[in-house]
Structures are given as C-alpha cells and as structure tokens.
Amino acid sequence: SADHQSPLSDEQQQLSGPGAAANRRKSQKVSRACDFCKQRKAKCSGTIPCDKCTRKGLTCVYDAKYSRGRPPTPPPSAVWSASSSTSHPGGPASGSEEPPVMYQTAETGGRTISAPVTASSLRGQVRESQGPASRASPELGMAEIQGQVFDPTSGVTFLHRAWKRLSKHDSSIVPDYLNASTENQPLMLAGDKPLPPITDEDVANFSLPSSRELQDLLGMYFDVCIATYRVLHRPTVEIWLKTMVNDLAQGKPVWQDIGRAKASIVLTALAVATAHSEKSKGFHEPEDERLSLARSDRLFCVALQLTERETGLPRLESAQSRLIQVLYLLTTSRMNRAWYTFGNALQIISALGMHRKAAKKRHLAAGHSDYIQAQCRSRTFWTAYVLDKYLGVIFGRPRHFHDDDIDQDYPDRIDDEDMTAQGPIERFEEHSDCHIDALICHAK
C-alpha cells in the first residue's frame, strides 16, 4: 500500500533524491554491521556491500543473528546507486515490478568481479543464509594436517590455511624435502625440529656447567621462566642439584644418589632456563637459533633419556619431570612431542590419583606426613589442569580432565621458603603477595 513502504525503497529514494549529497556529508547512524565488520569489531558503513568489503573485494553478507528486534534491511551502497543511475538514466518507471539492477562485488580466484543483483534478490540475500555466518570460509572445518586432526578453532589450523594459500602462489615456500624428512622422523617428533641423538656414552660423559652458571640458571627458572607453572619446591631442587654435582665430581652417574626422575627434573629445568637465556640475546641469523638450541637441547636429551630409563612404580617426580619436559618442548616449538609427552604425564597423574583428595590422604597415611610432598602433588595436578586447557585450545582437541571427576583442593597460598616437611612456617607478618597466587588464579 501507499502508506507502507519497505525500508529499502525509502533509503533508495533518500540516496537518489536532491539532498543525497548533503545527507551523505552528515554522520549517519549505522544500526547494523555486516558479518565481516561485526566479527572484527570494525567500523561499517551499514550498506550492502559496505565500504570495507568493497575495498577488500569480499562478498558482503548480513547473516549474523540480530537481537534488537526486526533486522533492518541494509541500504545499497553509493557504488550501487551510481551503477543504477548509469544503467537507468531515466530512473525506474512508476509501478515497475523490479527496481534497477545493482552490482555486488565478490572475490573469485583472486580477481574482484561484479555480479548483477536486483533489489528483491538483495532482500532475499539478507534474509536467507548463504552458508556459515561470520568468519565464513570454505576451508573451515575439521582439518587434517599430516594425518592428525585439528579443530577449526585451533590456531594451528589457522596457520595451516594461511600456509596452504601462500604455497599456492609460491611453491618455494615449502620445499619438497620437508615432507620427506617428516616421513623419516619418529612418530612423536614428526613435524618438529629434530632433537640431537644421544647415546649411553654421552650420558656417561655428561658434564654440568660451572657452579656459578648453575645457580644463575636455576634462579632464572624459578624467577623468570615459570610465572604460573610451579610444580617444584625450590629448596628441594637446589639440594638435588648439589647432590648431582657431587656425584659427577666423584665419577658417579649424574642420577646415582637421587634417582633418574629427580635428576631429569633438574636437567630439564636447566634446559628451560638455558633456552630462555639464549632467546633473550636475540637471533640475527637463522644459524644463531640453531646454535643457541644446541646447549639446551643437550641438557634436555639427557633428561629425556633418564625418564625413558626410569624403573619401578610411578612417583610424583615421574609426573613432574614430564610436565617440565612439556614446558621445554613448547618453549622450543616442538608441538607434536609436547602433545604426546603431556599425554604420558596425564596417565601418571591419573594413576597416582592426584585429581582426588582421598588419594592424597591415603598417600600420606602410608608413610610419614610430608607437607611439602602434599603441596607439590596439588601444584602438579593444577599445573597439568591448566596445561590441559591450553593445549586443547592450541590443537583444537578435547580436554582430558573433566571437572566432574575432580575434587582436589587448590594448593595452599604459601611460598617455597615458608614450607617444611612438618608444615608451613608461621610468620609474624603475613605477606601480601605469594607466587602460588598466580597458579591458583590460573587454575580457577
């Protein structure tokens, strides 16, 4: 009827009327942004196609859910109106069933093209979904990369899509020998930077850095490298390190008096600190990065062999050593090995029942009550809980821990130097800050 006109008709008349130029100069309120601008929270002209989509050569759609009443129909852009005026200088005839033809920009095969579209088809396009809404991409979906599945939300999937698009334009981006080398790598290292081979003789002839450097590296590990992943008790680790130094001085294996798991923990912590120290110096050439990894990789590989040779039933240190190895592997961008090593650590944590309070009580009842041991068990579990969430996000894979299965308490709010085997040291003045606050907040 004459009393009821569509918003599109009103906006077309406004844009084509004599005051159009003046109206365009005024700041117009945009009540609805296109999917592309809405997803990126960018300024949108509110037209179809909007100015940003036109510049980028994208298909401009308004498919996202509109929660403020009836969704307004976006007016045609000035480009469309100009195309309409050029094609129909006389304007539409009165009572015509179809308004002038307008043009929509779209990207096809890397070229920007214009497709004719009428006002009625425009309204239908806004109402009907043309596929997934914001961030629509024909490649979005469960991705299989080198035989492994990654969720579309994974950052790895995003990087893989970018790599595929770039490699289409430049085949030299990924040389042929890369795929061949991946096929020859061990299953848990496929796609990662290779680790240097190490033999029993290398472990037997292993030597530690100087005493001063060891103190600096251990201090860097606890003070800088682990903001929240605090699974260790610093004074205890310092005692382990002194024992290892004495063993080497007496010609014994580095793990002789403390066991393989504890020695592995110390060596991996030193490897993490060494890698961080080398990175802080910066890399000027690709060769610099390879050389900087040589020192830390050597420490890590000795630690890795110690855990692989570990005997007996699993212990707290068995889980701790593998969790710290995950941190080193993530630090050096060895994602696949980190994923599988973390899975091994999870199995040990579950076997020890660290996710349950009852298991902790049984563990402490079996021998003498050790407050440090109890706190480290709690810290180790909640560190694994945090890593589980982050690795799930990185890879786009399901979490392993389920909140319904967990009743473990958070660790006590206490610093390492205030802990003894019998319990916490009472202080006359309570500290306002505590290192464990970061882990507790991270886990929550």
Indicate if 252 and 387 belong to the same structural domain: yes
235 pLDDT above the threshold of 80: yes
Which residue would you say has higher pLDDT here, 63 or 142? 63
Written as six digits, the tokens of 103 are 């043009």
316 pLDDT above the threshold of 80: yes
319 pLDDT above the threshold of 70: yes
pLDDT at 128: 44
211 pLDDT above the threshold of 60: yes
176 located within any domain: no
Find the domain containing 219 and state its range.
Answer: 200-443
Identify the CA nearest to 228 among candidates 435, 7, 15, 11: 435
Q: What are phi and psi of 309, to 5 degrees?
A: -95, 5
pLDDT at 132: 45
pLDDT at 313: 94
> 325 near 303, Cβ under 8 Å?
yes
365 pLDDT above the threshold of 80: no
pLDDT at 66: 80
Identify the CA nearest to 378 among candidates 271, 232, 241: 232
Across all residues in the chain, what is the average pLDDT?
76
6 pLDDT above the threshold of 80: no
120 located within any domain: yes
pLDDT at 111: 40
> 64 near 56, Cβ under 8 Å?
no
337 pLDDT above the threshold of 80: yes
The dihedral sign for the CA sequence 274, 280, 281, 286 = positive
165 located within any domain: no
Q: What are phi and psi of 234, to 5 degrees?
A: -55, -50
Regarding pTM above 0.85, the answer is no
| Integer Cα distance of 291 and 163 in angstroms | 26
pLDDT at 135: 44
150 pLDDT above the threshold of 80: no
Average pLDDT over residues 281-296: 79
Average pLDDT over residues 134-158: 53
266 located within any domain: yes
Indicate if 243 and 98 belong to the same structural domain: no
Reported as a single tens digit per residue, the pLDDT across 159-170 is: 656 656 665 665
151 located within any domain: no
Highest-pLDDT range among 56-70, 211-225, 365-379: 211-225
Helix, strand and coil content of the chain, in percent to the nearest 5, comes to: 55, 5, 40
End position of a domain, from candidates 127, 145, 170:
127
| Integer Cα distance of 91 and 101 in angstroms | 11
138 pLDDT above the threshold of 60: no
Residue 273: band (very low, low, confident or very high) from pLDDT cuts 50, 70, 90: very high
Indicate if 123 and 209 belong to the same structural domain: no
| Integer Cα distance of 315 and 370 in angstroms | 14
The mean-pLDDT minimum among 37-46, 75-84, 263-272, 326-335 falls in: 75-84
| Integer Cα distance of 208 and 220 in angstroms | 16
Indicate if 123 and 16 belong to the same structural domain: yes
Indicate if 120 and 249 belong to the same structural domain: no
Reported as a single tens digit per residue, the pLDDT across 95-124 is: 444 444 444 444 444 443 434 454 445 444
377 located within any domain: yes
pLDDT at 231: 94
160 located within any domain: no
Which residue would you say has higher pLDDT here, 198 or 430? 198
168 located within any domain: no
pLDDT at 95: 43
| Integer Cα distance of 93 and 73 in angstroms | 23
Average pLDDT over residues 187-214: 86
Q: What are phi and psi of 202, to 5 degrees?
A: -65, -40
Indicate if 248 and 366 belong to the same structural domain: yes
The mean-pLDDT minimum among 63-67, 232-236, 275-279 falls in: 63-67
pLDDT at 438: 85
% of residues, the chain, pLDDT over 90: 33
Indicate if 86 and 232 belong to the same structural domain: no
Residue 354: band (very low, low, confident or very high) from pLDDT cuts 50, 70, 90: very high
Highest-pLDDT range among 155-159, 367-371, 400-404: 400-404
Indicate if 204 and 101 belong to the same structural domain: no
Indicate if 368 and 273 belong to the same structural domain: yes
End position of a domain, from candidates 76, 98, 127:
127
End position of a domain, from candidates 127, 158, 190:
127
pLDDT at 428: 58
Average pLDDT over residues 41-67: 87
> 37 near 48, Cβ under 8 Å?
no
321 pLDDT above the threshold of 80: yes
Highest-pLDDT range among 159-173, 182-196, 282-296, 413-427: 413-427
Count of domains observed in the chain: 2
User: CATH number for the domain including 53?
Assistant: 4.10.240.10
Which secondary structure element, helix H or strand E, spans residue 294, and what is its range? helix 286-308
Identify the CA nearest to 188 among candidates 318, 339, 320, 391: 339
Contacts of 42 by beta carbon, 8 Å cutoff, 6+ apart: 33, 36, 52
